[in-house]
Amino acid sequence: MAEDPHIKQAEQAAAAAEPDAEARFADLFDIRRIIAGLFLVYGVVLVILGFSASDAEIERAAGVNINLWGGLGLIVFALIMLGWALLRPVGRQIAASPRNDDEE
């Protein structure tokens, strides 16, 4: 079946208009950024709970303010994930990969 030349022309025009749209879309929905955002939110909530912990709650946790330390750990993990996503974006890898339009 022969391809329609108008469809091919429209695809080429769309690719020329936004050549990096696929890369930006991949970066936007990178799972590392989503995970980092979730861990950051939970970490901030735990840090707030850690600052408002009473002495009785701290004594119940063997003298450790576990909410504060757990929240700080989650924030550090979120920053690591975000740094990884920013230093090695998926969009750059997609743009560098060889593209074969004949597979479709």
How high is the pLDDT of residue 15? 65
Distance CA 48, CA 37 (A): 17
**Averaged pLDDT for residues 47-64:** 91
**What pLDDT, on the 0 to 100 scale, is given for residue 37?**
94
Burial class (CB in 10 A: 0-12, 13-18, 19+), 55: exposed
Q: Torsion over CA of 85, 75, 38 and 91, rounded to 10 degrees?
A: -10
What does the pLDDT read at residue 18? Answer: 63
pLDDT on residue 73: 97
Q: Would you say 21 and 91 are in contact if contact means Cβ atoms under 8 Å apart?
A: no
pLDDT of residue 25: 66
Q: How confident is the model at residue 2 (pLDDT cuts 50, 70, 90)?
A: low
Bigger pLDDT: 14 vs 43:
43
